[in-house]
Amino acid sequence: MSYLERHLLPLILSINPTKVESYIDACLGWEPENSVQSIRIQFGNKIEEFWNQVISDAKNAENLIAENNMIMVGKDERQLDHLFEYRVGENVYKLYLESKCNLNFDSEKDKASNAKIKAVLATMEDATGAYFCPVVDAVPHKWQVKYTNKGMKIIGVSDMMKMIDCPFTIEEYFTFMREVVGPILAEKRYG
């Protein structure tokens, strides 16, 4: 059994879509259907959980939030998506990542997410921060430019895999997403 089958598949199978509650649908006599948005939200949470497992299992990394993913920022407690140290040769780097599957979120959410990253980083002396998009191999140029112009960095799966020792390849990951995860979630969507 592969790493992806052992660690990602159970998370995907645990996704339970909610039914859409719509007065429009009721008025039109339509049957309630599964919410695609609920599937996407749960997928985002599960893929974040999966990548924390990958970080924990990487030989050259230490997951700094394996036991507790909360941090005090001023008077507020904030949840961290990914915080880890990784080694390249003799050098050790500390990286805080906010996981984002949708790169095109509205400007208000954009500002709040950027502010969160900056506030979290202000509490740490030696960390850098970025967004991590776990659903793209390489982040398209237009999104790199958008985030860079806002003073933020964004990385994709290939960037993550250059930093940490992953127990699977990029090809295995995206093939598994298309051939295993996609059909399972399509069944949950229409099932």
Tens of pLDDT, residue by residue, the chain (191 residues): 999 999 999 999 999 999 988 898 888 898 888 899 999 999 999 999 999 999 999 999 999 999 889 888 888 888 999 999 999 999 999 999 999 998 776 555 667 788 888 888 888 889 999 999 999 999 999 999 988 988 899 999 999 999 999 999 999 999 999 999 999 999 998 87
Model confidence, pTM: 0.91
Q: Domain limits at 175?
A: 3-190
The residues, ordered by sequence, that sit 6+ positions from 2 with a Cβ below 8 Å of its Cβ are: 168, 172, 176
Over residues 107-143, the pLDDT tens digits come to 556 677 888 888 888 888 899 999 999 999 999 999 9
Residue whose C-alpha is closest to residue 81's, from 53, 126, 49:
49
What's the rounded Cα separation, in Å, for the pair 50 and 160? Answer: 13
Listed in order, strand segments (DSSP E) in the chain are 61-63, 70-73, 76-79, 82-88, 91-99, 127-132, 154-155
- Using alpha carbons only, how large is the chain's radius of gyration in Å? 18
Helix (H, G, I), strand (E, B) or coil at 86: strand
**Domain count within the chain:** 1
